[in-house]
A and B are shown apart, each in its own frame.
Chain A
Amino acid sequence: MHEEIIRLVNVSKSYDGQQVLQNINLGIGRNEFVTLLGPSGCGKTTTLRIIGGFEMADSGDVIFEGKKINNLPPYKRNLNTVFQKYALFTHMNVYENIAFGLRIKKMDKEEIDKKVKEVLNLVNLRGYEKREINSLSGGQQQRIAIARALVNEPQVLLLDEPLGALDLKLRKDMQLELKRIQQRLGITFIYVTHDQEEALTMSDTIVVMKDGKIQQIGTPQDIYNEPVNAFVADFIGESNIIDGVMVEDYYVEFAGRGFKCVDKGFLPNEEVDVVIRPEDIKLVPVEEGMLEGVVESVIFKGVHYEMIINGNGLRWMVHSTMMEPENTRVGMQITPHDIHIMKKVKTE
């Protein structure tokens, strides 16, 4: 496990009486790529801004390398930020933008020249020193924003939805590039996004947030395969979430019949959420299926087909590379391993 560099202890924050963060506790390791993931309004950006020093927590502590930095202004913190809309200095050229932080540190000119050159190489924009910011494309501006932050060699880089404004193809390229940069420089990245795929692609650790609370912390595999509740399951990838009853350990009832499963530790007959990924439902001939239904709609998604199958009023989303035409009766099979049982979240 990584040595810890940042810790949030019981951090809470509210705006105008509305609670946006509730008792956030989070440890972030050195050289770790951590993603704060959640729908808009979940508090992920506020968490990042508290770490960056742009917002003060109402209560709780921000610890950086063992020291409390609650009241330290941003310019005294040893971390840098890549902002959502880049926030480049439009009155300066590329070189001046990147050199901004170095000049404040009173570094000498040759040193600055060298570092600017290096970091431009790193973001694949060699020779762009003299360009004006407004003459660059969105993707190039994004790279400059990243370069401007990285040139200061921060121990932690904060990134606030940095790829949000780019088109899909560019976004995918940049995801890989960011990951490459992070691994090469070996610094901590704290990355905020609402895009679950982005989070899965890049992160060492994902922190799923909702309504100002942390829902789950784990590796991408953990979060995808073992979501702790229906919200996480639904947010990370698509899911079928069905009401069920946990009759006893390893046995659950839903959709009008009983299934073997691999979960235990629930009360007898406890009401639970049953989560099944659409790609885990196998379509089989009707007589071989555990469940049956009629194909209601088919959408071609590129790699797979997405089918909605209506079985006695329950709608199942199924992903499969094989297509069954609409109105066909099909059987569905689910292995015990793919049935995820979750405690019901009390909705307030």
Chain B
Amino acid sequence: MKKHLMAYPYALWMLIFTIIPLALILVYSVITIDDAGIHFTLDHFRRVFEPIYLAVFWRSIKIATISTIICLILGYPMAMILASKNLSKKSILVVLFVIPMWMNFLARTYAWMTLLERNGLIATIIGYFGIQLPSLLYTENTVILGMVYNFLPFMVLPVYSVLVKIDKAVLEAAEDLGATPFIVFRRVIFPLSLPGVSSGIIMVFMPALTTFVISRLLGGAHFTLIGNLIEQQFLTTMDWGFGSALSVVLMLIIILSMGFAMRYEKENQGGGLW
């Protein structure tokens, strides 16, 4: 049997579940349907650029960026600790780290709701000290907390996988040439880990930009990110044309930001998860 025949089921799968839906979204984004039939239109895209919707885009990008930066700041040292420990301790740490990922994403996010709500655990404990907290739920920071909590492993794992592959002899060579531990990190470890960092950034930024669940649960009904907006168009207002246009613009943003992050990986071949 020819090898390429084995790719057909996959190609079929891609066609049905990726290419056709994508094509449909593209088509829906530039047509309107009324009694007279189907017309070509750019109205949907024009609407996307109305200030109210641009504000939603801006807020989504801002929150996704902040979450990604926090994930990087928290995740990088964590990946370094994982990569530096000796083998027996390491596997326990990795398992500890991965276990929360086995739990359902929604369940984990609901758990945060019960922790943070007005009469929740955190408010109650702090209440004992006579401090009345403002609402912990339904703020921008809560949404960021939820994103960081849920997406942190996607930063740690790719960075970790690159760090463990760095040859110890290279670090010794740097030290041998007079580099203090800090210089070893800045001039050798960090540059060599960039492919992992860019994978991590992509893997955190993309879901953070598109999620509608975290913002719905932790941000409240009126907290609208671009994901919520798209969901509304398809499920509530039934404006598929506008929803499709929003999706297309979102996709363009993601492709652009990925292209930016991927630049590093072309320069430093291989290493990351992609």
Contact = CB atoms under 8 A, between A and B. Distances in A.
B87 to A, nearest CB: 13
Interface in B185-225: 187-188, 191-192
Size bracket of the A interface: 20 to 34
Given A100-B187, A104-B183, A89 B170 contact: yes
Nearest to B167: A87
Nearest to A152: B177
Given A85-B169, A87-B169, A87-B170, A75 B192 contact: no
B43 interface: no
Contacts of B179: 75, 100, 104
Given A87-B170, A148-B177, 10 more contacts: A75-B177, A75-B178, A80-B176, A81-B176, A83-B173, A87-B169, A87-B173, A89-B170, A100-B187, A152-B177
Contacts of B172: 54, 74, 81, 83, 87
Interface of B: 167, 169-170, 172-180, 183, 187-188, 191-192, 268-269
Given A89-B188, A91-B192, A100-B187, A73 B175 contact: yes
A2 B143 CA distance: 71
Contacts of A134: 269
Interface of A: 52, 54, 73-75, 80-81, 83-85, 87-91, 100-101, 104-105, 134, 148-149, 152
B265 to A, nearest CB: 12
10 contacts: A54-B172, A54-B175, A74-B176, A81-B176, A85-B169, A89-B170, A89-B188, A91-B268, A149-B177, A152-B178
Nearest to B177: A101
A101 B170 contact: no
Nearest to A74: B175
B180 A75 contact: yes
A118 B225 CA distance: 60
Given A54-B172, A74-B172, A91-B191, A85 B178 contact: no
Count chain B CB atoms within 10 A of each CB in A52, A75, A90, A152 and give the residue with the most: A75
Contacts of A88: 170, 173
Given A89-B188, A91-B192, A105 B178 contact: yes
